């Protein structure tokens, strides 16, 4: 009986992934049939993205695992029809892209780039820029993406504080956890980047109470997920100056509706969920490694803890 792998993602991705998956599975010596159209009860693995439209896994009676092309799995983690292991995407290219995006936006704030790039008002007003060693940057979430960004910022000498659910030890990064740890991290954060997953426990991590802990004028960078921020509270904080500026890549509703106040706010930069994307060349290797593992009876990597939602 052949091993069948269903590709259920945006159709335009199939011609990109199909040759890569074929090549890597060949190289690994794994014999499978790849396709976008199998009878559900014939499928062994689903390569999954939410925009593939698959919602009901109940008919997939011989499924061994679902392998997500996305790092964020909030759209599938609580799917009760899914009873087999769910692996998420941890991809070198995705991580590198996110690190570059976060470091770029931190440097934009740190070096006050907008002041001299977007404002050319004829006023000669030199102002000293502190060194990175005198700037505190806080990363909420120290997983695959948050840790890489924290390490890169620490390598540039920023004072980096990170916060996660469990205790961590990352060289050059002050690692905190717990509710008290969050309060401590935010109370000194001049720039905050959110790289938490969207789960019931992280919803509104930045709310009126936690935003008030920040030093006045702090900057927020959110490439994590929209629900991590209470939008009303952030708009209030922007309007009072408690938050000086926010760069938002992700939103509760995407595309961000044209009449959303974020678009028109002078102290908000909206980017259209482009912080980083899964890179097919490296991501296909991650997918194939999990199929190889499944067929060899080895444990899958990057498994989602469905009770935690990430």
Q: Which stretch binds ligand NDP (CB under 6 A): 90-98, 112-120, 254-262, 284-292?
A: 90-98
Q: Is 225 a catalytic residue?
A: yes
Q: Which stretch binds ligand NDP (CB under 6 A): 26-34, 39-47, 52-60, 199-207?
A: 199-207
Using the structure block, give the residue that is written with the tokens 């009986």. Answer: 1
Q: How far apart are CA 197 and CA 194, in angstroms?
A: 9
CA dihedral over 297, 54, 302, 292, signed as positive or negative? positive
CB of 74 to ligand NDP, least distance (A): 7
Q: Residue 90 burial (CB < 10 Å; 0-12/13-18/19+)?
A: middle
- Residue from 224, 244, 280, 294 in contact with ligand NDP (CB under 6 A): 224
28 or 92: CB nearest ligand NDP: 92
Measure Cα distances from 261 to 126, 134, 154, 206, 268 in Å. Answer: 33, 33, 34, 18, 9
Both tokens assigned to 205 = 């991590």
> Contact between 223 and ligand NDP (CB under 6 A)?
yes
> What is the phi/psi pair of residue 52, to 5°?
-80, -15
144 or 238: CB nearest ligand NDP: 144
Beta strands (DSSP E) in 93-224 are 136-140, 159-164, 173-177, 191-194, 218-222
- Residue from 6, 30, 32, 195 in contact with ligand NDP (CB under 6 A): 195
30 or 194: CB nearest ligand NDP: 194
Site string for ligand NDP, 119-158 (x = CB under 6 A): ----------------------xxxxxx------------
Q: How far apart are CA 217 and CA 214, in angstroms?
A: 8
Question: By CB under 6 A, how many residues form the interface with ligand NDP?
Answer: 30
> Contact between 165 and ligand NDP (CB under 6 A)?
yes
Q: How far apart are CA 142 and CA 152, in angstroms?
A: 13
Question: Residue number with the shortest CB distance to ligand NDP?
Answer: 143
Site string for ligand NDP, 263-292 (x = CB under 6 A): ----------x-xx----------------
Q: Which of 92, 183, 265, 273 is catalytic?
A: 273
> Contact between 91 and ligand NDP (CB under 6 A)?
no
CB-based contacts of 105: which residues, under 8 Å, 6+ apart?
193, 221, 247
User: Would you call 270 helix, strand, or coil by DSSP?
Assistant: strand
> Contact between 250 and ligand NDP (CB under 6 A)?
yes
155 or 201: CB nearest ligand NDP: 201
CA atoms within 13 A on the CB side of 38: 24
- Catalytic residue annotation: 225, 273
Residues that bind ligand NDP (CB under 6 A): 71-72, 90, 94, 98, 141-146, 164-166, 195-199, 201-202, 223-225, 249-250, 273, 275-276, 310
């Amino acid at each position: 009986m052949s091993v069948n792998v269903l590709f259920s993602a945006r159709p335009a991705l199939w011609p990109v992934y199909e040759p890569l998956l074929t090549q890597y599975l060949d190289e690994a010596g794994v014999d499978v049939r790849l396709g976008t159209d199998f009878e559900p009860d014939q499928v062994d693995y689903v390569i999954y993205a939410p925009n593939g439209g698959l919602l009901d896994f109940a008919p997939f009676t011989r499924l061994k695992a679902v392998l997500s092309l996305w790092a964020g799995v909030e759209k599938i983690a609580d799917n009760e029809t899914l009873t087999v292991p769910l692996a998420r995407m941890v991809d070198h290219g995705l991580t590198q892209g996110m690190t570059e995006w976060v470091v770029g936006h931190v440097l934009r704030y740190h070096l006050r780039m907008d002041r001299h790039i977007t404002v050319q008002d004829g006023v000669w007003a030199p102002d000293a820029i502190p060194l990175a060693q005198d700037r505190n940057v806080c990363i909420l979430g120290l997983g695959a993406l948050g840790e890489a960004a924290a390490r890169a910022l620490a390598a540039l000498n920023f004072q980096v504080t990170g916060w996660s659910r469990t205790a961590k030890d990352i060289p050059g990064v002050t690692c905190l956890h717990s509710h008290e740890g969050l309060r401590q991290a935010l109370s000194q954060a001049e720039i905050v980047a959110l790289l938490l997953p969207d789960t019931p426990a992280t919803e509104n991590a930045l709310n009126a109470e936690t935003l008030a802990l920040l030093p006045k004028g702090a900057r927020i960078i959110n490439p994590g997920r929209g629900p991590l921020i209470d939008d009303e509270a952030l708009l209030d904080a922007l309007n009072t100056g408690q938050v000086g500026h926010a760069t938002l890549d992700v939103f509760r509703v995407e595309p961000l509706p044209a009449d959303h106040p974020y678009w028109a706010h002078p102290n908000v930069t909206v980017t259209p969920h482009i912080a980083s994307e899964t890179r097919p060349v490296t991501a296909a290797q991650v997918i194939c490694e999990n199929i190889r593992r499944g067929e060899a009876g080895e444990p899958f990597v990057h498994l989602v803890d469905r009770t935690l939602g990430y």
